[in-house]
Amino acid sequence: MSQQNLVLFEELVCIDGQRVGVAQLNSEKTLNSLNLTMVQALYQQLQLWVKDEGIVAVFVHGAGEKAFCAGGDVKRICIAVREHGIEDNTALDFFSAEYRLDYLIHQYPKPLIVWATGIVMGGGIGLLRGASHRIVTETSRLAMPEISIGLYPDVGASWFLSRLGQIGLFLGMTG
């Protein structure tokens, strides 16, 4: 699948002529894991929809039934570091772009709905958590598995987990 097809965008026209922007994470094979191209595409499109007065809301979902988003493509980052050494900027570029996207979603001035069915991990939780409207289903499985590979739970997890009391502590320690 080409890089430009990893996120699909469309606009649905409402009966009154206003529109809803739809973004679909489109990488079922990787459980819709985010890579730099996907993050940049989402950021750019969300910026365009903010400026478009005809767009009244944005809906984000993942392709397939297995996962909304299994987080960032950590495998790609690990391979880049193995091949090019610790000076490789793949991780820096990805996380900088991902956090910028998460911040935009948290500050988004229009209703932003995330339909989080299936697996929702790491960066997927970052997308979900920032949305003004969050929908989970009976198949949703949320996790922050970064801690099991030695990373801290990111995407704002230290903020939202700390507000869940003992459940947040448990989730933060176990992923």
* pTM for the model: 0.85
Q: Tell me, what's the pLDDT at 51?
A: 98
Q: Can 98 be counted among the known catalytic residues?
A: no
Q: Which residue has better confidence, 91 or 163?
A: 91
Q: Tell me, what's the pLDDT at 1?
A: 45
Bridge-based pairing of strands 112-116 and 55-62 is parallel
- Alpha-carbon distance of 94 to 135, in angstroms, equals 26
Q: What is the mean pLDDT of residues 113-124?
A: 94
Q: Is the pLDDT of residue 148 over 80?
A: no
Q: Can 175 be counted among the known catalytic residues?
A: no
Q: Can 73 be counted among the known catalytic residues?
A: no
CATH class name, domain 3-143: alpha beta
Residue from 21, 118, 123, 172 carrying the catalytic annotation: 123
Neighbour count for residue 69 (Cβ, 10 Å):
29
Q: What is the mean pLDDT of the chain?
A: 87
pLDDT band at residue 152, thresholds of 50, 70 and 90? low
Q: Tell me, what's the pLDDT at 72?
A: 85
Residue from 72, 118, 124, 130 carrying the catalytic annotation: 72
Q: Is the pLDDT of residue 70 over 50?
A: yes
Both tokens of 165, joined, read: 């009391």
Q: Tell me, what's the pLDDT at 86?
A: 81
Residue from 71, 124, 146, 172 carrying the catalytic annotation: 146
Q: Can 154 be counted among the known catalytic residues?
A: yes
